[in-house]
Amino acid sequence: MKKYILLLIFMAFYPLFAADANLTKKDTSKAYELYLTPVPVIGVNPAFGFIYGVGASASMYMGDPKTTRISNMLAGVAKTTNDQLIMTFKSTAYLHDDSWILVGDWRYLDSSQPTYGLGTGPNSSKLATDGSTYDDKITGVMDPAQMMAFKYIRIYETVLKRIKDNFYFGLGYHLDYYSDIKDNLLDLESDPKVITSHYGYSLNHGFDPTKSVLSGVSLDFMFDSRDSVINPYRGRYAYVSFRYNAELIGSDQDSSTLWLEYRDYINFTPKKEYPNILAFWAYGNFITSGNVPYMDLGATSYDQYAKSGRGYVQGRFRGEQSIYLESEYRQHFGLWRVPFTTFDMPIGGVLFANAQTISSEGNDIALGEYIEPGGGLGLRFMLQKKTRTNLTLDYGWGNYHSSGLYLRLNETF
């Protein structure tokens, strides 16, 4: 695992050794002018089924636009055909002259989701135990997709202070609270018993299988030279977060985790208003000490905006250590005159490919042993030109006959 951590640390600190072009702003935006893009939430997601509700992207310069990057907030309330309730509020705010950055991620879910065991590869659905036995009885055979229902509250808030140019250092608080967890396939009365991956992991590591609390504080380092958090045309982004979860502040057990992330944007047509871009994204999520609850293990699409792993259902792969890589080519097609209006909407398309590898100590699956690829294509419709707010429509494919359609606001990364 050490070589993967060293690789991601190098990628995260790469901006220290690389020069960035000057990021100048040419628009006439005003400070504290609100740009609001409300949209109905209508879509399909492989984790939730058909989704309907309301959402909005709100953007604002919280300082002089010449020296302050644009801030963005995404909020939404949605129901699904699987009888799920999803409420989210996610924000990245740049204060005057980019002197401070505030990052928030608040969620409430009354939801259900299949889990597929631990690790990547064909053995990921194998029950991770010493011999697959409980109470001297062999467990029954399980469906690879183990449906779970739960309620979830997330409160993440991080404050970062600029220390030099695009470099920031900060502190954060993070709460993950799962309650009313129900394993639909769990059957302790049958003979043999049917033990799910979640129940087995929880018992093996001393967690309550019906609820869990992960409460921690973090030390955070950020480098951010992107010209926009909504839809970057150039710049780089690196993020390092070390999180300590303590029983003293509510965690079920003491533990620590390390998050490493890097993004880069290559602009092939910098002189054009709507350029063609090749974008890269990499992140790693590592448990550095102790154990965390099953639902808090690194998993597919468990990034801040739940946008990684297109082609797979959310939570498809899960485990103690994880690495994710993605690349996307963004091509501008032209302007489309919206019917019955005078509005010319910029439209474009994307091609993307991703790969993920996740370890499982209980299943003896090492990081890098199995790599799960994904890929697909999509369309982009720019709803708000000043803020570059896109409506994105993607279709992705993955292994094991997996696929998904994704309708969202703002770029994937």
SS3 at position 21: coil
Q: Determine what percent of the chain is predicted with pLDDT higher than 70.
A: 86
pLDDT surpassing 80 at residue 17:
no
- Tell me the pLDDT band of 61, cut-offs 50, 70 and 90: very high
Q: How many CB atoms lie within 10 A of CB 361?
A: 15
Integer Rg of the chain from CA: 22
User: pLDDT digit string (tens) for 147-157?
Assistant: 899 999 999 99
Higher per-residue confidence, 405 vs 82:
405
CA–CA separation, 117 vs 364, rounded Å?
13
- Tell me the pLDDT band of 21, cut-offs 50, 70 and 90: very low
Compute the average pLDDT of residues 158-183: 96
pLDDT surpassing 70 at residue 23:
no
SS3 at position 386: coil
CA 408 to chain centre: 13
User: pLDDT digit string (tens) for 355-380?
Assistant: 999 999 888 899 999 999 999 999 99
CB-based contacts of 167, cutoff 8 Å, min separation 6: 221, 222, 223
Compute the average pLDDT of residues 115-122: 89
Please report, for residues 63, 167, 229, the alpha-carbon distance to residue 163 in angstroms, rounded to integers and kept in the order given. Answer: 18, 6, 20
Give the CATH number, domain containing residue 60: 2.40.160.50
Report the domain count for the chain.
1
- Tell me the pLDDT band of 182, cut-offs 50, 70 and 90: very high
Q: Residue 3: exposed, middle, or buried by beta-carbon count in 10 A (0-12, 13-18, 19+)?
A: exposed
So what's the pLDDT on residue 112?
87
- Buried b / exposed e across 4-43, counting CB within 10 Å, b at 16+? bbeebbebbeebeeeeeeeeebeeebeeeeebebebebeb
So what's the pLDDT on residue 49?
66
- Tell me the pLDDT band of 172, cut-offs 50, 70 and 90: very high
Please report, for residues 143, 205, 257, the alpha-carbon distance to residue 200 in angstroms, rounded to integers and kept in the order given. Answer: 15, 9, 22
Q: Structure pTM?
A: 0.85
Please report, for residues 48, 134, 146, 307, 310, the alpha-carbon distance to residue 314 in angstroms, rounded to integers and kept in the order given. Answer: 9, 29, 13, 9, 9
So what's the pLDDT on residue 48?
64
CB-based contacts of 136, cutoff 8 Å, min separation 6: none
Residue 344 belongs to what domain range? 2-409
So what's the pLDDT on residue 125?
61
